[in-house]
Every structure is written in C-alpha cells, then in structure tokens.
Chains A and B, each alone.
Chain A
Amino acid sequence: MHIVIIGNGIAGVTAARHLRKQSQHEITMISGESEFHYSRPALMYSYMGHMRSEDLKPYEDWFWEKNRINLKRAWVETIRFNEKQLVFADGSTMNYDKLVLAVGSTTSYYDWPGQDLDGVHGMVTLQDIEAMERHSEERLKRAVIVGGGLIGIEMAECFHTRQIPVSFLVREESYWNRVLPPDESTMVTKHIQRKHGIDLRLETELSEIWGDGDGKVKMAVAKGGEKFPCEFVGISAGVKPNIEWLSFSELELGRGIKVNDHLETNLKDVYAIGDCAELIEPQPGRRPIEAIWYTGRMMGETVAYNILGKPTPYRPGIFFNSAKFFDLEYQVYGSTPNELPENQSWFYWQHPTEDKAIRLYWSKASKAVLGFHLMGIRYRHEVCEAWIANETNINEVVEHLGLANFDPEFYEEHEEAIVSAFNAQEGTSIKLKSKRGLSGVQRFLKKLTSKSTARV
C-alpha cells in the first residue's frame, strides 16, 4: 500500500512517523514549501538569530531515509481523486492508495487595497521568514503589523530585536481580548507598551496600503485616515485553511476540508488532518477548526490508526495551549473563556509587582474544576489535566495547588498567597497542603491510576 501525505508540517510528519512505527507500507511525504520538516512555531528564532535554519529541523536529514519515508519536494497542482492520482506543477504524476491532506493554513487577507504590494507578508511559511529577512536587509526602516493575534506579536518581537520601530495595529480595545480575560489582556497590553520601539495602536484597523510607484510598500493607512509610513506590512489577522486549490473537486469543503470523527473526508481513502481539517462534529466545547500545533500532532497520530484499520475516533482530550508574548509566558489547560459563563465561577490572582497571574475556572453546580489560565507561571500539564478529567472539587485543587507548579527550582512559590486570596474571595479556610516537586506529583498520579479513573 502506498500512503501519500501532502504537507510536511507537524500533522503530516506525526502521521508519517506513526504509520511507519506500526506498518511496513510505502510512505511518501510531499511538500513544496521545504525539503525537510521544520518547526513552524520556531521560524521567529531563526530571524532573531537564536538558531540557524537547520536547528529548526527536529530530525536530522538522514532520519527520513533511515525510516523509509520518501520525501518529495514539489507543489501538487491538482488531485484526480477518481484515479487516485496526484498531478504536480511540472506535469508529472504520482499514484496513491491512501491520501492524507495535511496542507495547513495560509495567512488571511481581507481584500485590503495594496495587499499584493512587495513588502506585505504573514509569518507562516519559510518563504515568509525569508521575505522578512530580505526586506530587513534591503530597505526596512519602519514596519506596521496588522492584527492582534499570536503571530503579530511574534513579528513585533522579531523586528524589535533588530531595532526596527513597529506600529502594531490592533482592532480590539485591548490585546487579544477575544481570547484572554480582561485582566490578562490588560497585563499583556501593558507588557507590550513597555517595549521600546513598539507603538501599540489599539482600536485601529488597516484600511489600505500604498505603494511607492515601484510596487513596494510605502505607507499603511488606517481606517480614520491615520498614515503610517513603513516599508513592510506584517499581516496577522488570523489564518485560514489552505484549501483554495482544492475547490472545484469532489472533495467536500467548508471553511476547511470536512472530516468526520475518524478524520475521513467524503472521499474514500482520503483523510485530512491539522490546520486544514474542519470537523463536522467537533467535541463539545471545541471548535471545528483548531489551527494549533498540538491538535495537528494528535490528528496525525489518530489518522495513522485509522488508515491502518484500527478505527480510532479523534479525541483531543482536555484542551491545552501555550504561547509567549515577548517575555511573558502563557499556558492554559481546560476551558478558559474570556468572559465568565453564567454557570461557572472564576478566581483571579495577580502578583503585586511582577507579570504573573493565575485564573481558575470551576462549575457553580458541581464545584468541579474546569480550567487553568496562567501568565508568567508554569503549571504541570499532567496534574491540571488529571484534576479536570476527574472533575476534582475546586477546593481540593486549591488545597493541593502546589503540585501543579512547574516553575524551575528556586523560583518563588506563590501558592500560599494564591490560597489565601482564594479563601478571601470564597470565604473558605483552605490550607495549602502540597508544594512543588516531582515526588509528590508521582504519588498523586499513581494514586489516580490505581483508582483507574475513567478519563474523558
């Protein structure tokens, strides 16, 4: 059997690795973007000089040959699904028995006049980062970044390292407040505003981009008319599934490629995973498209089982994610909406002087813990997840909160302060019983498994 995977991002590569681990089928992975798999979230580090481009590759180049995963560098032009055949840009073809579409996302553009000018880029692909480098070296004196998402702030950090002033246009009244609760959004907003050379413009939207007559960016114009002279416009107003090239085929598309619980598309032997896949019936509380590194990886693993005849529904488990805003780390576990739902309660603690905060969510009715939202403090995935999965009572969670602390040794443990603040809010008299440390965690996890709890 010949299994062909289009796309060598994290979803495609995880699928290939698991397919190889469990089978001897022929596996081919195709990418037009890069010869080898690289870590997309790490693109910024090559621009900033933290790493060389080869350091972005999680596997040495010989890994693929050794594991008999054929790599092909080519753009797929069209797919003849009826004949189970791919057609490449150069006209050559390749047949498959099973096809995995792991074609990822592209930057969303919103039909701004001037968006095709030289110097308008997202930061999603290798080509994007090369363009940023080229423009930085050639003529970049000021940059404008449009959109207050995670990619925008990474672009801002990139330019910041090269002392290129940035105007950061954000539509919302506070950074990323569609996702972050108000206090956290304010904290990040202030963190950005403290950075020298970053001009954060809230409630500002891009209207159009002007060129200099040679087709190069000269100015970004905001709605309302304010002008921002610049040589580069970074676009970070979200990403969308990279599926335009698949329209006019038999493949069922929505915003992404429609897949069922087993990541199968409407066409036999064709699967879709990662950023490009749109679940027809997502799990409760989850979105149909989650363009996240971690879900891509889980889908890659799941699709491998399904292809190999071990039907496995896609169950991403308890949500988790992480990001970094300049120097400020961010982690979430479980469900952490930016506004408090009616049937839930939350508790927020913020460090009096440093950028550190924690927010806990729980159900009003059952008191079961629902989520952890962390700024500048690291919490342990295994512990938070076990608490959420077991619907642990919030009071018990708070009592043992130290177990979840994952900050390095010698870091101050704030759990004492957090517990007393919690007591003050809830009128409880909880005493902190567990501190940070692996041994306690190991005992805690062993006790859980011996109870053989049913996980979600």
Chain B
Amino acid sequence: MSNKSVHKTGLQWLGLGLFCLALLLFTAMLGLESYTITSDVLPEGSNKYQKAAIAKAAKDLDFTGQTFGSPFEVKSAYHEVFTKAQGALEATFEKSGAPDDLGEWDFKLGDGYFKDQLFPLIRSSSTGPITANPWLWFGLTFGLGILGGLLYILPKFSADPGIKNDHIYHSPLTRGLTLTWRSVFLGFTIIGVLAYGVTYMSGQWVWPAVTAGVAILISVLIFIVQNSAKHTPQRSASPDMASGTLGILGGTYLIVFYLLLYWSPYLITPWVIMVNPLTEFLSGGSASQWSVYGTLYTVIVLVMGVRMWSKYQHNKYQLVRTGSVMFFQTGFAFLIPDLMSRLGGPSVDLKLIWPLDYSFFFDWNLNSLLDSGTFGIFLLGWGVALIVIGVPVLTYFYGKRWYCSWVCGCGGLAETMGDPYRQLSDKSMRAWKYERFIIHGVLVAAIVMTAAVLYHFFTGNAQIWIFNAYDIRKWYGFLIGAGFAGVVGTGFYPLMGNRTWCRFGCPLAAYLGLVQRYKSKFRITTNGSQCISCGNCSTYCEMGIDVRYYAQRGQDIVRSSCVGCGVCSAVCPRGVLRLENGDDTDQFRADETRAIHITADSVGIL
C-alpha cells in the first residue's frame, strides 16, 4: 500500500489535533451555558404598557426566576409569555382602546417583536463558563485553533518551492462529489431556503414561487433550448461514489453555521459573549453575531493566507496577492469600521461596492450617511465614485482582478480558506451556461431592487404597481444576500468549489466582468505553442474556466469571469500562461482562428 497523502511531521499531526480540539470546543460551547431569567433581562417593550404586560405574563407563568438549560427551552417558554402578554394587551385594547393617544400598533405587541427580542433576551440571561470567562474561551477556540493551524502550516515552508498539488484528488476532504451527490445537496439546499423563505416573508409564497419559476425557466432554456441535455458533462467534480466524505462533513458544518448566523442567531449567543470583550476593546460597542463572523473571517483569512504563502512559495504573484487580501480584510473590513464607530461616525467597509453591497442605497444607509455631516457625504461620494469611476477605470487597466482577487472580502476568503477546494469548480459547458444566466440575472435583480428602493426613497411611495419596495429588498437580502452569498457561497466550498458565489451569483463580479470582457487591457496570454493540454490550468481554475481550451489553441484568454488569481499560471508545468495588461487593440490575439503553429506560408492557404 503506497501512501496517498502528503507526508506530515509529528508537529503537524499535533497541530492538526489542536485545531480539531479547538473546533470541537468551539462547537460544544454552544451547549455549555444556562439561561436564568430575571426581571432585568425581560424585554422592555416600546412603552410602559407593553413592559408591564410582559412582566406580568412572565410572573404569572413563572418565567421569571427560572433557569433553562438551552436556548430552545427559553424560546418556547418565552413564546408562551409573549403570547399571553399579547393577549392581555389585545383584551385591554378591545375593552378600552389605547391609552395616551397611542396608535393601535404602538400599543399592541406585533409578532415581529418576539423575534427581535429573542436574541437579546437569551444573550442577557446567559450564565455559565463563557459569560464568566470569555477570554479563556476565546483562547481555547480561536487561540488554540490559530496555534494548531500554524503548527500545521509553518513546517510547509521548509519544502522546496514548486507546485504543491499532490494527492488533492486522493483526499476525502478535497476530492469533491459526484454530479449526482452534488445535485442532491444543491437541490435540498435550494428547496430548504425557498421553503424557509415562505416563513421569512411572513407567508408571502409569491416570492419563493417566482424564484423557483425563474430557476426552472433557466434550466429549461439550458437543457432544451440550448441542447445541453445531450451534452452531459464529464469534467464535473465527480470521483467515485460519495468518497469526498470529509468534504461533505465540512460543507454541512459550514452550511449549518450560516443558517444559524443569518436566521437563528439566538442559538449562537455563547460565541457572541465570547468575542464581546474584543469587540468592546476595538469599537467601544457591544458584540453581535456579525462581530463573531467578522473576527472568525479575519482570523481564517490570515491563517489560511499564511498557508497560501507556504503553498505558493514559487510564485511571487501569489505571495503579493495573498498579502493584499489579508491586508484589506484585516484593515478595511475588520479594524477600520470598528475604529470609525469608536470615533462615533458611521461604520463602513470602505472597499465594499454596490451591487455586492446591496444595501448601499437603502433608506437607512442613505439617511445615516446624510445625517453624518461632511464625513457622511464623503462616504456617500466615495461609494458612488467607486461604482461609476473606480470599477470601470481600474478594470480597464488591470482587469477585474484588482477587486476580486486582491481587495474583495468574499474573494479574500475564497483565495485563502477556499484554496484547497478550487479544483471543485465545474468546468463543463453546461456549468458555464448556468453561470451566464444566473450571474447576469442577479445583476438585473440587484438593479431592479435598487431602483425600487430609490424610487421609494425619493417619492416616499413604497408601492410600485403590485410590488412593495420593502418586500423586494427583503427578499433580495434573504435570497441573494444571505442564501446565495453565505449558505451556498461559502457552505459549498468543499462541494462545488471556492468561488460558487463569485462565479454564479455576485452582481459586482458580473459588472466588473462586463467591463473586463469588452473594454480592458487585461488578458491571460498563452506562450505560443508550448501548451501540452495537460489540464492543470483548467483543473485549478476556481472560476470554472476551461483555460486549456484556449491555451492549446494559442489563444489569449479574455473571459468575463476570470478573477485573475493567477493560479493557472502558477500550476502550469510548461510556463505557458501569463497574466498581462497589454494593448487592447490586438483583439485577434483572442481569436479562435489563430493557427496552431505551422509556418506562415502554409497558414496563408487557409
């Protein structure tokens, strides 16, 4: 039996062990706290009547004073309390109307209030080891995880510089799934998200239904109109059976993580409590689930960035580029916004650009910027300038890589944590067809949604024909912002590759891509006829571009989806590919008719 994995030293095994322990603790700590309800932690309502009703119901039902073992128990008990308080206010209103000239819905408790107050209730009632010692737990999870990760990664620097792809397709973590298994996972996730969407939209099933309709329409167009039914892909991620077992586990873990993060944050309050001291130290404010996410995200980008450095020692472009994404994540996404809020201003990630930052034109954001004086106006101008000047100009000179693989946070995660999974992107023609429909569809959706939001902002009229601007933006935020970018985008790293969101979903990538495709100096050039069609470039293209298709014809590669990560060039065993910013007038270089390589005279007869 030969060894089908890369040799690991004792220190590396120790690192791996510590990392697993940290992950275990990180997961297990969600169940370690208990929840004691005191009158201090009860929701206060928006007026004294609501407060009193909740307090009374809590007392009547013996909610106050109780200690619960899990957030689920708190939720169900609190639900009874809330319903009772709601009923009491309802009865009062029926009998004598609202006092103090309160409107009906200012007096009564709306259903939404239950959901809004669940997270703060559970968080503030939390007692136990994590509340008692958040820094200890931070050390045991983040600290131990970082230590383990570095112990595992640092010895890799002693290896000879060169391509490090040995055994990727032998490993159950990185070898991916068969087309069938992948479809099963994707199908269940989509159906699950849409089904939950009905609840999320308070029973308005029309939005999930329209989305499902669009999905079916796209499939019909691709399979029947574009004849893809006859073109079953072979070069999809498909090893034997469901042998990518660790990948499946990892993907499932990530998917569950995102589901909790977006839609059930009340279940992850121990994490929030754990990072709270750090957030207070940095921003002066208290932590939310987004502080957990931001801290985790940054730590992962940094540690896995070091891994990138060790893996691509032979390629200076990768070293510099990885340094760039680490810098932008740590500085622009993590530290600067905290600093801004410490200074009392609006807290903004200066590198986020609409339409990826889909809430940029939402009324609350515009109002917040407009209310923040000169600095707010500057931020508004900055955001708009990035959209109308930054994107076209920089993309003209450097291609979309200046953003996607050098600056962007989603890209940063994909290029660091996602690097082990880059080979899982589907290279088939069918996947490319899906990609073009979906990503441009999302761009259109983002524009329509923003137009509706702005129409509402300027006219004050939320109703546009049969649509409501609030519903449109709520559904967009749910489906694209959370479902696509988060759950599928990152959760599917080990299942469909690290750029699933960037490739199929990101509307900013679509916009950058249009500029790159039609007006940019950027291209990947092929070194004459040196290609041996080996396929390493295609295999390791995270955007699913069949790079070899072009390289073996001697064509320059000008594709809207290319994020310019440069890995095709880094893994080419013959030095065939180079990312370049050249003269964009030589369009013939990207023509398919470029002859292979027989001499000029003979080509002349063609």
Task: List A residues at the B interface (Cβ < 8 Å).
Answer: 10, 14, 39, 41-42, 45, 48-52, 54-58, 60-62, 65-66, 136-137, 140, 161-164, 194-195, 293-294, 297-298, 301-302, 305, 310, 312-317, 320, 322-324, 326-327, 329, 331, 378, 380-382, 385, 406-412, 437-439, 441-443, 455-456
Contact = CB atoms under 8 A, between A and B. Distances in A.
Contacts of A52: 169, 238-239
Contacts, number: 203
Interface in B515-539: 523, 525, 527-530, 532-536, 538-539
18 contacts: A10-B533, A48-B167, A49-B169, A51-B534, A55-B539, A60-B233, A136-B2, A162-B4, A163-B3, A297-B529, A314-B598, A315-B602, A322-B530, A326-B162, A331-B530, A380-B527, A438-B580, A442-B586
Contacts of A14: 596
A326 B573 CA distance: 10
Contact of B534 (A41, A161, A314, A409): A41
A291 B548 CA distance: 22
B196 interface: no
Interface string B350-361: 000000000000
B317 A42 contact: no
A54 B238 contact: yes
Given A385-B528, A438-B582, A51 B169 contact: yes
Given A39-B535, A315-B601, A329-B575, A49 B160 contact: no
A51 B541 CA distance: 12
Given A50-B536, A438-B580, A55 B602 contact: no
Contacts of B595: 301
B240 to A, nearest CB: 10
Given A55-B235, A312-B602, A327-B314, 10 more contacts: A10-B533, A39-B532, A54-B234, A61-B234, A161-B167, A163-B2, A305-B602, A329-B575, A410-B319, A438-B523
Interface string B148-164: 00000000000011110
Nearest to A161: B166
Given A55-B538, A331-B575, A408 B569 contact: yes
Contacts of A58: 533, 535, 548-549, 552
B582 A439 contact: yes
Interface in B1-16: 1-4, 7
Nearest to A37: B533
B320 A456 contact: no
B374 interface: no
B579 interface: yes
A437 B580 contact: yes
Which 5 pairs show the lowest CB-CB distances between chains A and B? A381-B528, A327-B162, A438-B582, A378-B575, A42-B534
Contacts of B600: 455
B428 A60 contact: yes
Contacts of B7: 163
A60 B429 contact: yes
A58 B529 CA distance: 15
Contact of B317 (A45, A406, A409): A409
Given A310-B605, A315-B602, A381-B527, A406 B536 contact: no
Given A315-B601, A327-B162, A408-B579, A322 B320 contact: no
Contacts of B59: none
Given A41-B532, A60-B233, A317-B598, A406 B166 contact: no
The winner among A140, A163, A406, A455 for most chain B CB atoms within 10 A is: A406
B320 A410 contact: yes
B316 A408 contact: yes
A167 B549 CA distance: 38
A297 B528 CA distance: 13
A324 B539 CA distance: 19
